[in-house]
A and B are shown apart, each in its own frame.
Chain A
Amino acid sequence: MDEIQALMHGFSVALSPINIALMFLGILLGVIIGVLPGLGGANGVAILLPLTFSMNPTSAIIMLSCIYWGALFGGAITSILFNIPGEPWSVATTFDGYPMAQNGQAAQALTAAFSSSFFGALVAVVMITFLAPLVAKFALKFGPPEFFAVQLLTFCSFIGMSKEPAFKTLAAMFLGFALAAIGMDNVTGQLRLTFGLEPLIKGFDFLIAVIGLFGIGEILLTMEEGLAFRGKSAKLTPAAVWETWKKLPRYWKSYLRSSLVGCWMGVTPGGATPASFMGYGIAKRFSPNKDNFGKGEIEGVLAPETAAHAAGTSALLPMLTLGIPGSPTAAVLLGGLLVWGLQPGPLLFVEQKDFVWGLIASMYLGNIVGLIVVLATVPWFAAILRIPFSIIAPVILVICAVGAYTVHSSMFDVWLMMGFGVVGYIFKKLQYPMAPLVLALVLGDMAENSFRQSLLSSSGELSVFFSNPLVGTITTVALVMLVWPMFQSLSRAAKK
């Protein structure tokens, strides 16, 4: 099997001492990011991205993706011990994780969460190993219309799946597209939407938007809640870990369901957060201990964690094969590829074998490293949370400013970050979703290019998006995804 051979080659790339060291560093940084409020997967990776500009791309992506796994692990710690979800995808983990900690079962809850995260990620990586090359091979036949149709599908499914009001999702998404359009038009060289302002000519960098929206916005929100952390301390003894591990196989059905939900939601850009809620919901519906959910049921911890990690990991599949990220963090990683001079998309599997398979191999290794690291170091990370917010808040703010400044060494970006911070605060409170905004900002130029090329080839006929069965099917599915929620809300209104 070609994949196995390629994967083995990948392991030989990933297993160099420097890459393993970067894996550990990445996981540690990631867990810290996941634990701290105001720093999350997306903006943590965005802040650290400039540090990797001079590294070789394979080492860089290994470190950054490990930060991502670390952040996925870290979110669970705060949810279980402090009832504060460090990341949006660990909200569902608080439902049963925190009650378990209250009942003195913190060790079991943490072990279950970490092990399930590991399992979910593993299923997703195995899927990526065997599916990604096929998808990439298939996508090599894509022309501009097919690419635009897939991008359309990505954005339409956001509207179809998001919990937020559909029209707010639309507004946020188009704001992202508009911001992406600012600056020089790369086809005609004309300046667009710059209004004579010089710093706008090079356009908006989405890294700044990510740091502002997620970082500064989150700090302001946390400030508003006037948080005082009061949590359970954590001790993980090998015996407690072992006892919990013996119990876990019993829930294999839940694992299977959550992994499937997670992989599906990750590949289609539903993302880890809705996946975790769906995983929780499904586990609750099918569990014999339905009534114990919310009071400290271990299945209520493992189901959302498995789904969240499966989704978070499989979000990298469309990013690698099609150049379309399935989550904001994957979008930031995609931005990294562009910075390192790699063109994301199906050709990556042909031209950059070392990079792709090194990354996939590092996903296996990174998650093993991650599981070991979090199990061994939980008490320290729990201690980080006892640092008062009056220290953490200004430190994170300084780190965000440093991150924004390093992107282009420009003071303007730091002001921009503050602006995005205010937008992030208001948008979050008004339920304008930020993920589609960021994705549109990242993909805007690509979507526009494939749209223009498609129209060029058809001399302006929109029918090009239905010109063959493949592109026609994708476009139709996309439109159904778009119209479905509106149809639903109309039919609901009609029933009343």
Chain B
Amino acid sequence: MSEPVEPSAASTRTLEIITSVFLLLLAILIMWDSRRTGAGWGPSGPESGYFPFYIGALMGLASAVNLVKAWRMSRDKSFVSVEEIRLVSAMFFPALAFVFAMQWLGIYVSGALLIAFFMRWQGKFGYAKCAAVSTGTSLVLFAMFEIWFKVPLLKGPIESLFGY
């Protein structure tokens, strides 16, 4: 694979350090909370925090080693380029908006909106195609979950208009 020269948004070293520090902090948090619930030997055997305490300890140890290794890495290797982060965001932020909208519009309507929006924006499809694919997907899902398998999903005002 040839590596195109693109401006890097973040180096792998930076991400390695962030990840290992995050896991290290998490490990400390786990150990701290396990001490609270009791990490020793109680009247009925090992206390609640006994197992998690050592899990936290070992996780911390492994993360510390990873942190040291990450620190000694070269700074040259790119984790993600500017162009790549743009592409990933183009998926991630609409997805966040979709999950947010789900709470009011229900899964089917917000799902159709996400598909239509993404097809139009990234795929440059015509409006008719966008509408057909997005409503089609939602209708198939609706038939499968609500009617066939009888698993109710999150529904919003539009479904209630039709009596669901």
CB within 8 Å of B: which residues of A?
50-51, 53-54, 165, 167-168, 170-171, 174-175, 177-178, 181, 185, 187-188, 190-193, 195, 216, 219-220, 223-224, 226, 388, 390-391, 393-395, 397-399, 401-402, 405-406, 409, 411, 414-415, 418, 422, 425-427, 429-430, 432, 448, 451-452, 455-456, 460
- Report A-chain residues with C-beta under 8 Å of the C-beta of B25: none
Q: Is the CB of B118 within 8 A of A390?
A: yes
Asked if B19 and A430 sit within 8 Å, CB to CB, the answer is: yes
Q: CB of B52 within 8 A of chain A?
A: yes
**Contact of B133 with A391 in the complex, beta carbons under 8 Å:** yes
With contacts A171-B66, A398-B115 taken as known, whether A177 is within 8 angstroms of B55 at the C-beta atoms is: yes
Please report whether the interface of chain B is mostly helix, strand, loop or mixed according to DSSP.
Answer: helix
B66 close to A167 (CB less than 8 A): yes
Q: Which of A174, A193, A399 is the one whose CB lies under 8 Å from B59?
A: A174
Picked from A170, A178, A406, the residue with its CB within 8 Å of the CB of B153 is: A406
> Which chain B residues (1-60) contact chain A, with CB distance < 8 Å?
12, 15-16, 19-20, 23, 26-27, 29-30, 33-34, 37, 41, 44-52, 55-56, 58-59
What are the 4 A-B residue pairs with the smallest beta carbon separation, nearest first? A390-B123, A174-B59, A170-B62, A398-B111
The interface centre, meaning the residue of B27, B91, B114, B118 with most chain A CB atoms within 10 A of its CB, is B91
Partner of B65, one of A167, A395, A418, A425: A167
In the assembled complex, B95 has its CB within 8 A of some CB on chain A: yes
Which residues of chain A come closer than 8 Å to B137, judged between CB atoms? 395, 398
A185 contacts B115, CB within 8 Å? no
Residue of B41, B111, B151 touching A50 (CB-CB under 8 A):
B151
B147 within 8 A of A: no
- Interface residues of B toward A: which range? 35 or more
A-B contact count (CB 8 A): 175
Quick one: which of B29, B45, B63 has the most chain A CB within 10 A? B45
**B26 near A178 (CB under 8 angstroms)?**
yes
Q: Does B143 contact A (CB under 8 A)?
A: no
Chain B neighbourhood of A398, CB < 8 A: 98, 107, 111, 114-115, 137, 141
Contacting residues of chain B (59-94) with chain A, CB-CB under 8 angstroms: 59, 62-63, 65-66, 69, 79-80, 84, 87-88, 90-92, 94
Q: Which residues of B contact A395 (CB under 8 A)?
A: 115, 133, 137
Inter-chain contact B56/A224, CB cutoff 8 Å: no
CB-defined contacts of A185 to chain B, threshold 8 Å: 37, 48
Find chain B residues with CB under 8 A from A167 CB: 62, 65-66, 69
CB–CB B107/A402 < 8 A: yes
* Nearest neighbor of B34 in chain A, beta-carbon distance: A192
Asked whether A452 and B63 contact (CB < 8 A) given A397-B95, A402-B141, A430-B12, the answer is no
Chain B contacts for A224, CB-based, 8 A: 80, 84, 87-88
A190 in contact with B63 (CB, 8 Å):
no
CB distance from B87 to the nearest CB of A (A): 5
- Output the least CB separation between B95 and chain A (Å): 5
Within the complex, the shortest CB–CB distance from B31 to chain A, in Å, comes to: 10
Query: Given A50-B151, A177-B55, A178-B55, are A432 and B19 neighbors across the interface (CB < 8 Å)?
Result: yes
- Write out the residue numbers on chain A whose beta carbons fall within 8 Å of the beta carbon of B88: 220, 223-224, 425
With an 8 A cutoff between CB atoms, is B161 at the interface?
no
B164 at the interface (CB under 8 A from A): no
- Inside 8 A of B29's CB, which chain A residues have their CB? 193
A170: min CB distance to chain B, Å = 4
Q: Dominant SS at the A interface?
A: helix
The answer to whether B62 and A394 have CB atoms under 8 Å apart is: no
- Residues of B within 8 Å of A193, CB to CB, are 29-30, 33-34, 52
A429 partner residues in chain B, CB cutoff 8 A: 12, 15, 79-80
A224-B87, A226-B87 known; A406-B52 Cβ under 8 A: no
Contacts A181-B30, A394-B115 supplied; 10 other A-B pairs, CB < 8 Å: A175-B23, A185-B48, A224-B87, A390-B123, A394-B94, A402-B107, A406-B151, A414-B102, A430-B19, A455-B45
* 8 Å CB interface, B112-145 against A: 114-115, 117-119, 122-123, 125, 133, 137, 141, 145
Q: Are A402 and B145 in contact (CB under 8 A)?
A: yes
The complex places the Cα of A418 from the Cα of B91 at a distance, in Å, of: 12
A-B residue pairs in contact (CB < 8 Å), sample of 17:
A168-B62, A174-B27, A177-B52, A178-B55, A193-B33, A193-B52, A220-B92, A390-B119, A391-B115, A398-B98, A402-B153, A409-B152, A414-B102, A429-B12, A430-B16, A452-B50, A452-B51
Instruction: Name the CB-closest residue of B to A445.
Output: B51
- Check if B37 sits within 8 Å of A192, measured CB to CB: yes
Docked pose: A270 CA to B46 CA in angstroms? 32
Other-chain residue from A192, A399, A409, A456 in contact with B52 (beta carbon distance below 8 A) = A192
Which of A165, A174, A187, A195 has the most B CB atoms < 10 Å from its CB? A174
Tell me if B153 and A405 are in contact (CB < 8 A): yes
- Chain B residue with Cβ nearest A181: B52
Q: In the complex, A289→B7 CA distance in Å?
A: 43
Q: Give the residues in chain A near B153, CB-CB below 8 Å.
A: 402, 405-406
State the Cβ distance, B155 to closest chain A Cβ, in Å.
Answer: 11
User: How far is it, in angstroms, between the C-alpha of A388 and the C-alpha of B23 when the chains are bound?
Assistant: 37
Q: Is the CB of A448 within 8 A of B118?
A: no
Q: Report if B162 contacts A (CB, 8 A).
A: no
Given A401-B107, A414-B102, decide whether A451 and B119 contact each other with a Cβ distance below 8 A: no
Query: Do residues A460 and B41 form an inter-chain contact, with CB atoms below 8 A?
Result: yes
In whole angstroms, how far apart are the Cα atoms of A75 and B47 in the complex?
Answer: 46
**Contact A190 B15, CB 8 Å, known A50-B151, A167-B65, A401-B99:** no
Minimum CB distance partner of A410 in chain B:
B154
CB contacts (< 8 Å) of B19 on chain A: these are 426-427, 430, 432
Q: Are B45 and A452 in contact (CB under 8 A)?
A: yes
